[in-house]
Amino acid sequence: MISLTSPVRTRAHGWPAGPKLAGLAVATTALFLISGPALQALALAAVLALYALPGRDFLRHGLRQLRVLWPFVLLLLIWHAVSGGWAQGVAIALRMTSTVALANLVTMTTTLGELTDLLHRLLAPLRRIGLPVRLVEAGIPLVIRFTPVLITKGRLLVEAWRARSPRRANWNIVLPMALLALDDADHLAEALRARGGLNPSDED
Amino acid sequence: MERNVAQIALFAALIAALGAIPQITLAFGIPITAQSMGVMLAGAVLGARRGFLSMLLFLLLVAIGLPLLAGGRGGLGAFVAPTSGFLIAFPFGAFVTGLFVEHVRLRPIGLRAGLGAVLGGVLVLYAFGVVGMSIGLGKSIPECVKLVLAFLPGDLLKAAVTGMLVAALARARPQSVAWSQSA
């Protein structure tokens, strides 16, 4: 399973994940505090400069990650063109793009392993107040392993459907996929038990 | 213990897989954002507690940078985008759906699951989603409600489909849909 970490090595890859996340929180808060299109444009320019530093591939890949925002940018611009206050609309669109771009930047420069470690530390307090954190943590590698398995099986189901029907596969495909997931879960549970189970003694 | 972990993990994986198979369309050609249907399914099949944990697990994996959202998206950016409210609502939506099917004694099973899906998978998701959009887009709550209402018919249809699917699952794997045994 491929993570969204950028293969382009940047200096930020070496920084610890905790401070990067804290910095992201501060920067995002700051973006909501400053107002006016001029300041927001400056902020976005600074964010884009960060994207441009590691090189053109990194910048291009980063911009591609932002394309889900364009419908919202369009919506905001049309909204404010109709209702007035275009400066505010532009400011909001800029702020939205900057916050998402910054968050993506942290994701692109931090490895899965580091974030998993950080998650473990962040979840520790929840464990103390008795939430079943361990159930969730034990699930992480299982999901990473089984997502591609289910995707492959799902694609096979869609192909089998196509071979038999002139129409496109519809929600009918969800039922066999859910059944496959439930059955896989049963087999997986047996396999885990057969290998000694999830050891409750390594609680911390 | 092992069975709980396995089911929580496999449903999280199922949601991801539903997002990765693009060819699914609902009746009338409405594309499923199959993932919100997965939220309804997780709650209705696993129940409140495990449904919640399963969706929480899914969100954590998205947060640490796995491209599990529809269209191969993921990472921290998904949690600050204008649609983030819907995403953050996943565990709570599954929880409410699960709570409904576990405690409201209603027959047939499909109707119970369908209503639970409307409550958790539509109402709860929209409530969180509207607040998220309101913050991200700088619009008032009523304005955002108007924006999302366009998606309501499709989502109600999804809830109905979820009801039918859960009824079929309960027939095929009665031991996996535990609450369906109770009256």
Q: What is the pLDDT of residues B100-113, one digit of tens each?
A: 999 888 888 889 99
Residues B50-82 pLDDT 10s:
999 999 999 999 988 888 888 778 888 888 888
Q: Say yes or no for a CB contact (<8 Å) between B75 and A108.
A: yes
ipTM of this complex prediction, to 2 decimal places: 0.87
Residue A129 confidence class, pLDDT cut points 50, 70, 90: confident
Give the per-residue pLDDT at B92. Answer: 96
Residue A196 burial class via C-beta count within 10 angstroms: exposed 0-12, middle 13-18, buried 19 and up:
exposed
Residues of B in contact with A101 (CB under 8 A): 77
**pTM exceeds cut of 0.80:** yes
Q: Which two three-digit tokens encode residue A177?
A: 């996929």
- Of residues A85 and B85, the one with the higher pLDDT is B85
Give the per-residue pLDDT at A204. Answer: 42
Q: Compute the nearest-CA separation of A80 from chain B (Å).
A: 11
Give the per-residue pLDDT at A101. Answer: 92
Mean pLDDT of all residues in A64-92: 86
Give the per-residue pLDDT at A202. Answer: 47
Residues of B in contact with A146 (CB under 8 A): 9-10, 13
Give the per-residue pLDDT at B22. Answer: 62
Residues A86-126 pLDDT 10s:
888 888 899 999 999 999 989 888 888 888 888 888 888 88
d(CA A185, CA A142): 10
Mean pLDDT of all residues in A49-55: 89
Q: Say yes or no for a CB contact (<8 Å) between B34 and A174.
A: yes
Residues B106-132 pLDDT 10s:
888 889 999 999 999 999 999 999 999
Mean pLDDT of all residues in A15-42: 88
- Of residues A141 and A134, the one with the higher pLDDT is A141
Q: Say yes or no for a CB contact (<8 Å) between B57 and A140.
A: yes
| pLDDT beyond 90 at A83 | no
Question: Residues in chain A, how many?
Answer: 204
| pLDDT beyond 80 at A157 | yes
Q: What H or E segment, with its residue span, contains residue A184?
A: helix A174-194
Distance between the two ends of chain A, CA-based, in angstroms?
27
d(CA A163, CA A75): 40
Residues B11-40 pLDDT 10s:
999 999 888 876 555 544 445 567 888 899
Contact B181, B174 (CB under 8 A): yes
Who among A99, A135, A151 is closest to B4 (CB)?
A135
Give the per-residue pLDDT at A199. Answer: 63
In this complex, is the C-beta atom of A56 within 8 Å of any C-beta atom belonging to chain B?
Answer: no
Mean residue pLDDT across chain B: 86
Is the omega angle on the peptide bond into residue B153 within 30 degrees of 0, that is, cis?
Answer: no
Residues of B in contact with A5 (CB under 8 A): 65
**Percentage of chain B lying above the pLDDT 70 cut:** 92
In chain B, which residue's Cα lies nearest the Cα of A178? B14
Q: How does DSSP classify residue A167?
A: S
Domains of chain A, by residue range, sit at 11-110, 132-204
Give the per-residue pLDDT at A200. Answer: 55
Residue A186 confidence class, pLDDT cut points 50, 70, 90: very high
Q: Say yes or no for a CB contact (<8 Å) between A143 and B1.
A: no
Q: Which of B45, B49, B64 is nearest to A144 (CA)?
A: B64
A193 contacts: CB under 8 Å, gap ≥ 6: B2
Give the per-residue pLDDT at B67. Answer: 85
Residue A149 burial class via C-beta count within 10 angstroms: exposed 0-12, middle 13-18, buried 19 and up:
middle
d(CA A138, CA A132): 10
Q: Per DSSP, which regions of B5-164 are E strands?
A: none
Q: Say yes or no for a CB contact (<8 Å) between A175 and B165.
A: yes
Give the per-residue pLDDT at A203. Answer: 44
d(CA A155, CA B67): 18
Q: What angle do CA A86, A88, A89 make, to 5 degrees?
A: 60
Q: Say yes or no for a CB contact (<8 Å) between A143 and B58.
A: yes
Give the per-residue pLDDT at B39. Answer: 92
Residue carrying the six token digits 């049309």: A78
Q: What H or E segment, with its residue span, contains residue B167?
A: helix B152-172
Mean residue pLDDT across chain A: 85
Residue A124 burial class via C-beta count within 10 angstroms: exposed 0-12, middle 13-18, buried 19 and up:
exposed
Give the per-residue pLDDT at B122. Answer: 93
